[in-house]
Amino acid sequence: MEHPDLVMLLFLIGAGFAASFIDSVVGGGGLISVPALLFTGLPPGLVLGTNKLAGTLSSLTSSASFFFSGKIQLRTVAALFPLSLIGSVAGAFTVKQIPATFLKPLVVGLLIAVTLYTLCKKNWGNQSQFAGWTMKNALVLGFGSLLLGFYDGFFGPGTGSFLIFLFLLLGFDFVGASANSKVLNLASNLGSLATFFALRSVNVYYGLPMGLAMVAGALVGSQVAIRKGSTYVKPLFLSVTTLLIGKQLWDLWIG
């Protein structure tokens, strides 16, 4: 495996911190971490696996931070965790057989719909409106967790945004939606990371330094979200989804 020099190492540490600060709250850290890893010259296949290593450390840290703040519904995420994990393993294996590029137009459309819906619902997510569990809620979250886990392993951009939107639809506030979605994102990261390791598609010399920087970024980002609440999380969510839309449109244009 190729070893990074000191300049590249410092670059990855800075990029990792910035990526996880954002990702720990609303997802979308791949907008920073994936281009940074591509800049090292790693092949695209190794970039995805290496990014999963760093991202897993980030999501583990932010999940722990939200857990100790009391923002996570343990029974809910415990039931959904295996579904997200299984979905991501299936997605990571599938992407080795089928190119994921055909999903880009669909993802752009879904991200635009999520952003516009959130903008139009002025007070949406400011306070929790979750009325309790029903069979419908359980089915929506169960299927959504499995599907988005598969998507994260197969393609990935916007997974955090889609997970937050899923919880918002069921009446969670922005901070609660972000907290619970991070645990499911951790599950999908673990599943796809294990698959990438099995396929020898992870560079630990690049992934671990970036991942350790992401631990620090995730601690800072999640604590800021917990203290400032929905008035901070909602604008960041809208900003990141808008950037994700722009990135996917750019990829379609140059592709």
Report pLDDT digits (tens) over 87-107. 999 988 887 777 667 667 877
CB neighbour burial string for 229-240, b if at least 16 within 10 angstroms, e if fewer: ebebbbebbbeb
DSSP 126: S
Rg (CA), the chain: 17
- Over residues 19-31, the pLDDT tens digits come to 999 988 888 888 8
Burial of 87 (0-12, 13-18, 19+ CB in 10 A): buried
DSSP 127: S
User: Quick one: what percent of the chain has pLDDT higher than 70?
Assistant: 95
- Over residues 222-242, the pLDDT tens digits come to 999 888 887 888 888 888 889
Residue 73 sits at φ, ψ, to 5 deg, of -90, 100
12: tokens are: 């990855």
Asked if 59 and 186 touch (Cβ cutoff 8 Å), the reply is yes
- Longest Cα separation, the chain: 54
Q: What is the model's pLDDT at position 158? A: 80
Burial of 121 (0-12, 13-18, 19+ CB in 10 A): exposed
Which residue stretches of the chain have pLDDT < 50?
A: none
Q: To which residue do tokens 């007070």 refer?
A: 123
Q: How far apart are CA 209 and CA 120, in angstroms?
A: 40
Q: Where are the alpha helices (DSSP H) in the chain?
A: 6-26, 30-39, 44-68, 74-95, 104-120, 135-154, 159-169, 174-198, 204-228, 230-254
Global pTM reads: 0.86
